[in-house]
């Protein structure tokens, strides 16, 4: 991989942060291209982060980096791996614990799903079952199963500003800060890593918009700077569902098998964004967030 000139490094950075649990499909690549275009068009650097918090499933990093390079992406520093940053996450948990913001939780997923919750609570929100356990109750439950650690939130919702969606208010609950197997979860790691890497612009798929309020709230508790969000339209299959591996020829490898090379795929992505074919640098000259198509792109796999 050849890094592009760091002409953008004066105004923060944007990033792409895939989980290496499978080959990137066209939807992932389109989001990566958009993240690069947003960053470069705003004078930012562009970074890559490998979100490999689950080492057992993280086996496709090399293939993902190869495919990103093949469609013309470049980044300004070596990729950062979350699996190498556990100390940062634990330090953040210690900071929150010192402020009285952490408590032990012994609930299983099924117990959380079956627990009664307030009428206005969104599906999946933690109902606070373990929030006010006594020390005696915690000691007894520790004998049965290890505890996860949860955030003691003091708000039920939080508002973020998004370049494409405007002000968005979403729910906040007592999110997990450390799983009971000792692994930090995505919502904590992404907040810590963005701040540590100087990332002040987060461009990602629209399905993650509802995660932004709880992440921004967590960042505020840790005294970390707010980021600029842009949640971009998803790529759908012919049935109108989010693109997934079961949809056939949707990765570079699979598309190459039916005669489409990486240049063809990049040009297809650029056409879906109403941008000229060719290099990403050429597309950058014509890119404007205001002109970005707001609807989902339907990708009918030719395979």
Annotated binding-site residues for Zn(2+) read 105, 107, 126, 130
Q: How far apart are CA 31 and CA 220, in angstroms?
A: 26
CA 274, distance to chain mean position in Å, is: 25
Helix 26-41 to helix 262-272 angle (10° resolution) is: 70
In sequence order, the 6+-apart residues with CB closer than 8 A to the CB of 54 are 19, 21, 183
- DSSP lists the bridge partners of residue 17 as none
The helix (H) or strand (E) run that includes residue 87 is helix 86-98
- Extract the annotated binding site: 15-19, 51, 105, 107, 126, 130, 186, 204, 245
Q: Which of 293, 210, 243, 234 is nearest to 24 (CA)?
A: 243
In a 3-state reduction of DSSP, which class is residue 286? helix
- How many other CB atoms sit within 10 Å of the CB of residue 15? 28
- DSSP lists the bridge partners of residue 242 as 236
- Extract the annotated binding site for ATP: 245
How does 66-98 read in b/e, with b if 16+ C-beta sit within 10 Å? bbbebbbbbbbeebbbbeebeebbbebbeebee
The C-alpha angle with vertex 170 and arms to 164 and 173, in degrees rounded to 5, equals 145
Place of tokens 């993240």: 35
- Extract the annotated binding site for L-glutamate: 15-19, 51, 186, 204
């Amino acid at each position: 991989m050849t890094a592009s000139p760091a002409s953008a490094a004066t105004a923060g950075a944007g990033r792409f942060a895939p989980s290496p649990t499978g080959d990137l499909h066209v939807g992932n690549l389109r989001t990566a291209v958009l993240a690069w275009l947003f960053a470069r068009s705003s004078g930012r650097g562009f970074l890559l982060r490998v979100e490999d918090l689950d080492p057992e499933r993280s086996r496709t990093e090399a293939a993902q980096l190869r495919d990103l390079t093949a469609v013309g992406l470049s980044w300004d520093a070596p990729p950062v791996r979350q699996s190498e940053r556990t100390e940062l996450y634990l330090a953040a948990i210690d900071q929150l614990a010192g402020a009285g913001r952490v408590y032990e939780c012994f609930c299983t997923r099924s117990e959380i799903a079956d627990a009664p919750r307030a009428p206005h609570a969104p599906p999946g929100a933690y109902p606070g079952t373990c929030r006010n356990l006594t020390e005696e109750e915690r000691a007894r439950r520790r004998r049965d199963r290890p505890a996860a650690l949860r955030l003691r939130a003091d708000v039920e919702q939080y508002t973020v500003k998004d370049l494409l969606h405007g002000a968005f208010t979403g729910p906040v609950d007592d999110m997990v800060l450390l799983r009971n197997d000792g692994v930090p979860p995505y919502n904590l790691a992404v907040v810590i890593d963005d701040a540590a890497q100087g990332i002040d612009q987060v461009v990602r798929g629209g399905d993650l918009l509802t995660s932004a309020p709880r992440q921004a709230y967590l960042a505020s508790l840790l005294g970390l700077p707010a980021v600029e969000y842009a949640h971009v339209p998803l790529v759908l299959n012919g049935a109108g569902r989010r693109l997934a591996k079961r949809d056939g020829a949707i990765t570079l490898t699979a598309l190459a098998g039916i005669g489409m090379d990486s240049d063809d795929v990049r040009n297809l992505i650029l056409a879906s964004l109403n941008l000229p074919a060719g290099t990403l640098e050429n597309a950058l000259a014509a890119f404007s967030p205001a002109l970005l198509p707001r609807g989902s792109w339907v990708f009918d796999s030719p395979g």
